[in-house]
Structure 1
Amino acid sequence: MARPPSLQGRERPFRVRAQDAEDLAVVSAYLQDAVLPVAEIAYSPAEERFVLVAARFRWEKAVRGKVAAEGGEPDERVHCGVRFEAVTAVRARGVDPKKDRGRMLNLLQIAWADGHVDLICADEVTIRLDVRRLACHVEDLGEPWPTVFRPTHED
C-alpha cells in the first residue's frame, strides 16, 4: 500500500478497510506500536462489533524522513479508530478489560488465522476476536501531534 497522498502540504489521514489476510498485514504494520488504553476498547455483542481507539505511531512518516535530532521533522502519533464487524466473541489473555481500565497496552501485531483475529500486545497480552468473516475498518481521527518517543525493538 502506498503512503497517504499529500493534500496541499499535509497528508491525508490513514483510512483503509481490511477484508483478507493481506489487507490485515498492511493494517498491522501501520498500527505496530500503537498505544492502546484498555478504557478505549469496547465490544457490542448485539451489534457484533469490536472497536478501539489507539494512539498510532506514524511509521509511514518516520521511515521516509530524518529524525528530529538530524534536523528532520519530529515523529508523530495520531488517534486512530479501529472497528471489526461480524465479531461473535472476545477473549483476553493477560489483561482483564473490566478491572484493568486504566492500563495502557502496546500493540505489536494484528494477526488473522482460521476465524479469529489476535491483537497481540507487549507483556504477553492477547485479545482474541472470534469472527464470522474478516471485516476491519481503520481511520485516523483528528490531527497528529509530535512525539520524541520513537518505538524500538530488540532484534
Structure 2
Amino acid sequence: MSEDATFEDGREAPLRLKALDGEDLSVIASLVQDAVFPAAEMRWDSKARRFAILLNRFRWEDAANAEARKRPFERVQSVLAFEDVMRVQSQGVDRSDPDLVFSLLSIAYARGEDGTGSVELTLAGDGVIALEVEALEVVLRDVTRPYAAPSGKAPSHPA
C-alpha cells in the first residue's frame, strides 16, 4: 500500500497566499492552472460577498522536484476565495450536475475605475466564470496534505 506524500517529506508548508493586485493574482493563477473541481464545490455567498471554490490543485511548485526524484506528481485540495464580489456570471457552466468536473485553465483580472474590476476564470471546454469585484482580494489556501495525482502525470497543453 502506498502512502500519500506529506508536506513534511518535502519540508514544505501548505500554501497560503493573498493577491491584492493583478501581479499578485498572476502568481496564484499559475499555481491553480489545471486545478479540477466538481460543480458542487463552487459557492457564491452574496451576503458575505464571497465566491469560493474547493479545488484539487496540481502542485506546480513541486513538479520539478517530483520529476527529478522520480516520485509521483502531487495534487492538494485548496480553497480559492474571492472577496468583495458584487456579481457572479457564468457562460458554458452547467451546474445542474453536481458531479460534473471542471478544469481551471486561467484567471485574468481587468482593473476598472476606483479600484473595482473584473476577474475571469476560464475553464476547459469554453466555460467562463466572471466576477465583478469592488476591490481585488483573492486567497489561495491549501487545506489538505498533498496526495499522488491520480493520473500519475503532469497536466500538458497541446501547442
- Settle same-fold status: TM greater than 0.5: yes
Query: Structure 1 unaligned runs (5+)?
Result: 1-5
The structure 1 segments of at least 4 consecutive aligned residues displaced by more than 4 Å after TM superposition are 6-9
Match of 2:79 among 81, 87, 90: 81
Kindly state the Cα deviation for residue 80 of structure 1 after the two structures are TM-superposed: 0.4
Q: Which residue of 1 aligns with 2:50?
A: 49
Identity percentage of aligned residues: 38
2:38 matches 1:40: no
Match of 1:106 among 88, 103, 106: 103
Aligned length: 146
Match of 1:149 among 123, 131, 153: 153
In structure 1, distance between residues paired with 2:154 and 2:10: 23
Deviation by residue 1:123-153 (Cα, 9 ceiling, x = unmatched): 0000001100100111001111112132111
Deviation by residue 1:7-44 (Cα, 9 ceiling, x = unmatched): 67531111100000000000000000000211000001
User: What CA RMSD, in Å, does the superposition of the two structures yield over aligned residues?
Assistant: 1.6
In structure 2, distance between residues paired with 1:144 and 1:8: 10
Q: Against the structure 1 CA distance between its residues 76 and 7, is the aligned structure 2 distance closer, same or farther, given a 3 Å change threshold?
A: closer
TM-score, normalising length: structure 1: 0.88
* Structure with a larger share of its residues in strand: 1
TM-score, normalising length: structure 2: 0.86
Q: Against the structure 1 CA distance between its residues 8 and 87, is the aligned structure 2 distance closer, same or farther, given a 3 Å change threshold?
A: same
Q: Which residue of 1 aligns with 2:62?
A: 61
